[in-house]
Each structure stands twice: as C-alpha cells, then as structure tokens.
Amino acid sequence: MSLKEIFENQPERRYIMFGGKGGLGKTTLSATCALWLARQGKRVLLFSVDPQASLSDIFERDIFGKGPVPIVENLWAQEIDADKRIREYQDEIRRKILDMYGFDRVPEEIDNYISAASAEPAMEESAIFDAVVDIIVQGNYDYYIYDLVPLGHALYYLSMAKVYDEWINKITKLREEMRQYDQMAATLRRQQALEEDKILEELQYIKNRINASSQILTDKRRTAFFFVLIPEEMILLDTRKASELFARFDVPISGYVVNRVLPPHLEQENLPVYLKNRIAMQQKYLAQIRESLGSQVLAYVPEMERDITGLPMIERLAERLFQSSNDLNP
Ligand SMILES: Nc1ncnc2c1ncn2[C@@H]1O[C@H](COP(=O)(O)OP(=O)(O)OP(=O)(O)O)[C@@H](O)[C@H]1O
Ligand SMILES: [Mg+2]
C-alpha cells in the first residue's frame, strides 16, 4: 500500500502523527502531508508543541503562540506556546485564591509558591499536555496532524496519559469513598460537602478529557502513526527498538516512510568517489529495509537539493510522498 491509498481507504483515521528520531524529517513530512490533505479539500490542523517553532520555519511565517494560523485554503498551522499557557495557569490560580478567601491581593508567600511551582519541568509538560487535549477534543477539523518532537518525548507524552489516568482514578475513588461520610455529616457541615462535590466534579472532568485524548491517540481505527527513518545503520537499529517500545504503549504503527533517499539514477553519472560510496551505502541499508519492513514502507522520499521550506518546495515533496504504489521503490 502507498500513503495515498492509506488516506483514501481509511477516511476515519483523522489523527495523524509522524514519529521518529530527531532531525529525520518529522516536521517536514507532517507539513507535506497536511498540505496534500488540504489540497484534497480536507480541513486540516497541523500543530506542534515544539518550542523551536519549526512550523514557522517550514512555512516561513511567524506562527508561534498565535492560535491556528491560516496557511492556504483548508490548512491551519498552530504552534503551542507552553510558557504562555503556564502564565495563564498562574493567573487562574491567583484568581481562584482571591475568590475563595476574599483577599484583595495574593499574599506574597503564596505568590512565591505559585511562581516556584511553575518553574518545575512537570508544569511545562502538563501545560503542553493540556493544550494538546484541548485541541484534540474540540473536533473542528477533518484531520489533526501532530508534529511530534523526537521519539523519547512522544513516548513520554503517551506514557504520561497513562500515569495521569491511574493517578486520577485513585483520587476519584478516594473522593467517592469520602463522599459517603460527607453525606452523613452534610446536615452538620452542609457547606463543605458541597465543596467536596465540586472537587470530584473537576476531577471527573479532567479524567474524561484525558481519557478522550489518550483513547484517540491509541485507537488504531482513528489514529495513523507513521514512523520516519532514513537508510543508515544506526537509524535502522533504533527503529527496531522504538517499534518494540511503541508496541508496549499500545501505539499502533501504521507504516514507515523512508526519507532522504539519494536518487539512484545518479549512479550512472560520473560521480566523485565520496558520493558513489554514500549511494552504495544507502543501497545496502535500503535492501535491509525492504527485507525487514517490506510492504510496511508506504513511501520512499528523495533527498532534495536543499532544505524543505516554503510552499512550492513542500508541494514538490508532496508529489513524491503521495505517488501511487507501483512506483514506490526507489
Ligand atoms: N527529503 C529531504 N530532502 C532535503 N532536506 C530534507 C529532507 N527531509 C528533511 N530535510 C531537512 O532536514 C532538516 C530536518 O528535518 P525536520 O525538521 O523535518 O526533522 P524533524 O524530525 O522534525 O526534526 P526534530 O526532531 O528536530 O523535530 C530540515 O532542515 C529539513 O528541511
Ligand atoms: Mg520537528
């Protein structure tokens, strides 16, 4: 099967991810796929949580922290600004404290505590996680393409959904148990029982959101997870290990895309030894890829003459990424 056939035959797969090690072409292929789908008339949101603003680079526009930015008809790109998200969290916490205790300003010790807590790396992860959940559960687009950060982080993100889920399950259960006692005492402490209910409600709300998004991301019918690799020895080894890891997190891999393949027709030309060797090396690993992954490879993408930036260049790459299966082999 080709990538094109995957999209044509499985229209219910609306959550698309390109994963793989750093620098192999995840952002490039996500953007290429997004543009192709938009040209087919689908409403597409391409989004990223990468603080490196990689979508801004590839589209040559400032997208960072601006919400969904229209790129061409049917295509929007969004780069989540995690820091901004954390600042919004802080403001919300401050406001809640003011409301709850009737202060007219947040006491200094509490404010210091809020700032310190926000400097924790977990806070950034949680802000990012929350932003992704927001995007995924809103459902305004035909396709959501998630431009992932390198492998380890993607796994971290998915494992976090599981950890969160367990944690919230425990707390919810505790709360429910406590509620029985609260109800007994409710006549005496009416006010407090009401507050406990509110906390339980909030926990259930968070739990439902997390369930909704992690279910989507691990649901084979709705999610397509493509793995990007290049024909090099280390990458082949890593890819094998990674696919085992992903299996453990229940992330179904829909297929592989081999990027940066040197055009083999170069071989006939009078090449410097250096390039000849590189092509020979790639051919060796391409043979290994064909042998071990075979029909799971959905596209071979050539090495272009320069970095992929700007719409015309992305468009050219899209033609190669979505060519039909009979001319798939490099
Ligand atoms: N087929 C290709 N031909 C030429 N250049 C390419 C090709 N694919 C990717 N590149 C270039 O390689 C660089 C890395 O690609 P990209 O940013 O898409 O990788 P990434 O996997 O998203 O990296 P990161 O892990 O840092 O997010 C970019 O400069 C991109 O333009
Ligand atoms: Mg990237």
Ligand 1, atom 9: closest residue by C-alpha: 25
Q: What atom in ligand 1 is closest to the CA of residue 309? A: 31
- Which residues are within 8 A (CB) of 172 and not within 5 positions of it... i.e. 6 or more apart? 200, 203, 204, 207
Ligand 1 pocket list (CB less than 6 A): 22-28, 54, 149-150, 259-260, 301, 303-304, 307-308
Fold for the domain defined by 3-80+142-151+222-327? Rossmann fold (3.40.50)
Sheet holding 297-302, edge to edge: 69-72, 75-79, 44-48, 143-147, 15-19, 223-229, 255-261, 297-302
The whole-number pLDDT of residue 196 equals 59
- Which residue type, as a one-letter code, is found at position 220? K
> pLDDT truncated to tens, each residue of the chain (330 aa)?
899 999 999 999 898 988 888 899 999 999 999 999 999 999 999 998 777 879 999 999 999 999 999 999 999 999 988 888 778 877 877 887 787 777 788 888 778 877 776 666 666 666 777 787 778 777 789 999 988 877 655 555 555 555 555 666 666 676 666 666 666 665 555 555 555 566 667 666 766 766 666 676 667 788 888 999 999 998 888 888 888 877 777 777 889 999 999 987 766 668 888 888 999 999 999 999 999 998 899 999 999 999 999 999 999 999 999 987 645 555
Distances (CA, A) of 138 to 29, 260, 278: 24, 35, 47
Residue 120, both tokens: 């924790």
CA 150 to centroid of ligand 2, rounded, Å: 7
The whole-number pLDDT of residue 182 equals 60
Residue 125, both tokens: 């992860």
Q: Assess contact for 200 and 176: CB atoms under 8 A.
A: yes
Q: What atom in ligand 1 is closest to the CA of residue 50? A: 27
- The residue extents of the domains of the chain are 3-80+142-151+222-327, 83-128, 152-215
Q: How many helices (H) and strands (E) does the chain have?
A: 11, 8
Element (H, E) at 108: helix 108-118
Burial class of residue 206 (count of CB atoms within 10 Å of its CB; 0-12, 13-18, 19+): middle
CA 11 to centroid of ligand 1, rounded, Å: 27
